[in-house]
């Protein structure tokens, strides 16, 4: 999950670039556009649309509802992942909170494959601390698991740096994996909230 919903804005539009390296060699480069509407107490209806994130070349759309207040929210949604490499129905739930200079968000997303695709599970979390005006530093992790015989659980752990200027933000995530040590993933993106 790469958007900046912690800003508690009605709209969040972002564009991310992801590079995956295998044993230090460029493996794959992805462009991930993402748009979210809502997910705030003022706009409790969630519309979440993204491309190339949940599966390669897949369009994903969710609709849901947010409950909570200015310091903690829970958002539940139901959506569909559709693309050439995966198709499935997917509920998701977000937990977001803020206290002083600390904020967190986590996403739990199981997916139930259709048309012969397998079930899978994804979980992402981000914990940020405001280290200076306009600068947040934190930790992030993601877990992915296919429900196939012999499938391994992929765990990524890493750092995240976020810079904000007005309604604009930039984020960089760098992940390594204790379970798949040959992989390194780097996300870099820009976004606007309004």
Residue 133 has pLDDT above 60, yes or no: yes
Condensed to tens digits (0 to 9), the pLDDT of residues 139-192 reads: 999 999 999 888 889 999 999 999 999 999 999 999 999 888 888 999 999 999
pLDDT at 39: 85
pLDDT at 7: 47
The domain spans of the chain are 5-193
% of the chain with per-residue pLDDT over 70? 95
Instruction: Give the DSSP letter string of the chain.
Output: ----GGG--SEEEEEEEEEEEETTEEEEEEEEEEEEE--SSSS-EEEEEEESSSSTT-EEEEEEEEEE-SSEEEEEEEEEEESSS-EEEEEEEEEEEEETTEEEEEEEEEEEE-TTPPPEEEEEEEEEEEEETTEEEEEEEEEEEE-STTPPEEEEEEEEEEEEETTEEEEEEEEE-SSSTTEEEEEEEEEEE-
Condensed to tens digits (0 to 9), the pLDDT of residues 66-96 reads: 999 989 999 999 999 999 999 999 999 999 9
Q: Which fold has domain 5-193?
A: Porin (2.40.160)
């Amino acid at each position: 999950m790469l958007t900046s919903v912690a800003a508690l804005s009605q709209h969040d539009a972002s564009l991310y670039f992801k590079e995956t390296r295998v044993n230090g060699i460029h493996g794959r480069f992805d462009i991930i556009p993402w748009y979210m509407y809502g997910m705030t107490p003022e706009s409790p209806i969630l519309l979440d649309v993204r491309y190339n994130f949940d599966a390669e070349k897949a369009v994903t759309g969710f609709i849901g509802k947010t409950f909570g207040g200015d310091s903690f929210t829970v958002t539940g949604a139901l959506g569909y992942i559709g693309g050439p490499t995966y198709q499935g129905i997917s509920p998701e739930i977000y937990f977001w909170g803020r206290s002083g200079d600390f904020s967190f968000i986590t996403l739990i997303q199981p997916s139930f494959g259709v048309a012969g695709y397998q079930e899978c599970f994804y979980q992402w979390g981000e914990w940020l601390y405001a280290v200076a005006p306009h600068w947040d530093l934190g930790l992030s992790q993601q877990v992915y698991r296919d429900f196939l015989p012999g499938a391994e659980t992929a765990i990524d752990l890493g750092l995240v740096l976020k810079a904000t200027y007005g309604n604009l933000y930039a984020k960089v995530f760098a992940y390594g994996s204790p379970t798949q040590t040959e992989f390194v993933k780097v996300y870099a993106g820009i976004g606007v909230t309004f």
